Chains A and B, each alone.
Chain A
Amino acid sequence: MSPVLEVDGLEVAFGDVPVVRGLSYEVRAGEVLGIVGESGAGKSVAAAAVLGLLPPEAKVAGSVRLHGRELVGASERELARVRGRSVSMVFQDPLSALTPVYRVGDQIAEAVRAHHRVTREQAAVKAVDLLDLVGIPDPARRALAFPHEFSGGMRQRALIAMAVANDPDVIICDEPTTALDVTVQAQVLEVLKKAQRRTGAAIVLITHDLGVVAGFADRVLVMYAGRPVEVGDVDDVYYRTRMPYTAGLLGSVPRVDGGGRRPLVPIEGGPPEPGRLPPGCPFAPRCPMRVEACDDREPPLFEVGAGHRAACIRWADVHRADVRRDGAERPAPPREPVTRRPRTVLEVEGLVKRYPLTRGTLFRRRTGTVHAVAGISFDIREGETLGLVGESGSGKTTALTQILELARPEEGRIVVLGRDTARLTPAQRAAIRRDMQVVFQDPAASLDPRMTVHDILAEPLRAHRRGAPEGRVAELLALAGLDPACAARHPRELSGGQCQRVAIARALALEPRLLVLDEPVSALDTSIRAGVLNLLGALKDRLGLSYLFVAHDLAVVRHLADRVAVMQLGRIAEIGRAEAVYASPAHPYTQALLSAVPLPDPVRERSRERILLDGEPPSPADPPSGCRFRTRCPTFRGVLTAEERSLCVETEPEVRPLGEDQAAACHYAEKLAVV
Chain B
Amino acid sequence: MTLSEEEVAGELGPAMAAPPSRGRVLARRFLASRQGRAGAAVLALMFALAFAGPLFSPWSPADKDFTAFLAPPSPRHWFGTLQTGADVYAVTLCGLRRSLIVGLLAALVSTALAALAGAFAGYFGGWTDRVLGWAADLLLALPAFLVLAIMSPLFGAGQWPLFVIVLALFLWMVTAKIVRGMTISLRQREFVRAARYLGVPPVKIIFSHVLPNLSSLLIVDATVNVSAAILAETSLSYFGLGIQPPDVSLGTVIADGSRTAIYAPWTFWFAAGLLVVTVLAVNLAGDALRDAFDPAAKGPR
Please list the residues of chain A having a beta carbon within 8 angstroms of any beta carbon in chain B: 266, 268-270, 285, 404, 430, 433-434, 436-438, 440-442, 445-450, 459-460, 463-464, 475, 478-479, 481-483, 485, 488-489, 493, 495, 497-498, 501, 503, 506, 510, 528, 531-532, 534-535, 538, 542
Contact = CB atoms under 8 A, between A and B. Distances in A.
Contacts of A436: 197
A535 B3 contact: yes
Given A450-B213, A463-B199, A531 B191 contact: no
B301 to A, nearest CB: 13
A92 B213 CA distance: 32
Interface stretch (B14-22, B116-124, B233-241): B14-22
Nearest to B210: A448
Contact of A464 (B4, B19, B193, B199): B199
Which of B1, B4, B7, B200 has the largest number of chain A CB atoms within 10 A?
B7
Given A463-B199, A495-B13, A538-B7, A445 B1 contact: no
Which of A434, A440, A459 has the largest number of chain B CB atoms within 10 A?
A459
B298 interface: no
A658 B241 CA distance: 84
Contacts of B189: 445
A404 B197 contact: yes
B296 to A, nearest CB: 16
A433 B197 contact: yes
B212 interface: yes
Nearest to B9: A268
A285 B9 CA distance: 13
Contact of B190 (A268, A440, A459, A497): A440
A495 B16 CA distance: 10
B74 interface: no
Contacts of B19: 493
Contacts of A482: 12
Contacts of B273: none
Contacts of A528: 10-11
Given A433-B199, A459-B200, A463-B204, A532 B10 contact: yes
A532 B8 CA distance: 10
B18 to A, nearest CB: 7
Interface of B: 1-4, 6-16, 18-19, 22, 189-191, 193-195, 197-201, 204, 208-209, 212-213
Contacts of A270: 11, 13
Given A448-B213, A449-B213, A498-B11, A488 B198 contact: no
A21 B254 CA distance: 69
A433 B208 CA distance: 19
A22 B18 CA distance: 33
Contacts of B201: 463
Contacts of A450: 22, 212-213
Contacts of A538: 3-4, 7
Contact of B15 (A483, A531, A535): A483
Contacts of A506: 194, 198
A528 B12 CA distance: 11
6 contacts: A447-B191, A478-B1, A498-B11, A506-B194, A506-B198, A534-B7
A430 B15 contact: no
Closest 3 CB pairs of A and B: A433-B199, A446-B190, A531-B10
A266 B197 contact: no
Contacts of B16: 493
A446 B6 CA distance: 26
A44 to B, nearest CB: 22
Given A430-B199, A460-B199, A538-B3, A531 B213 contact: no
Nearest to B21: A490
A269 B194 contact: no
A404 B196 CA distance: 10
A285 B13 CA distance: 9
A442 B190 contact: yes
B125 to A, nearest CB: 14
Which of B2, B22, B190, B212 has the largest number of chain A CB atoms within 10 A?
B190
Given A442-B190, A449-B213, A475-B1, 9 more contacts: A270-B13, A448-B209, A448-B212, A450-B22, A481-B9, A481-B12, A528-B10, A531-B11, A532-B10
A601 B257 CA distance: 89
Contacts of A404: 193, 197
A269 B208 CA distance: 33
B18 A488 contact: yes
Contacts of B200: 459-460, 463
Nearest to A485: B15
Nearest to A479: B1
Contacts of A489: 18
A534 B209 CA distance: 31
Contacts of B190: 440-442, 445-446
A542 B13 contact: no
B172 to A, nearest CB: 24
Nearest to B200: A463
A464 B7 CA distance: 29
Contacts of A478: 1-3
Nearest to B195: A459
B213 A497 contact: no
B191 A434 contact: no
A354 B36 CA distance: 53
B281 to A, nearest CB: 29
A658 to B, nearest CB: 35
A495 B195 contact: no
B6 to A, nearest CB: 8
Contacts of A437: 197-198
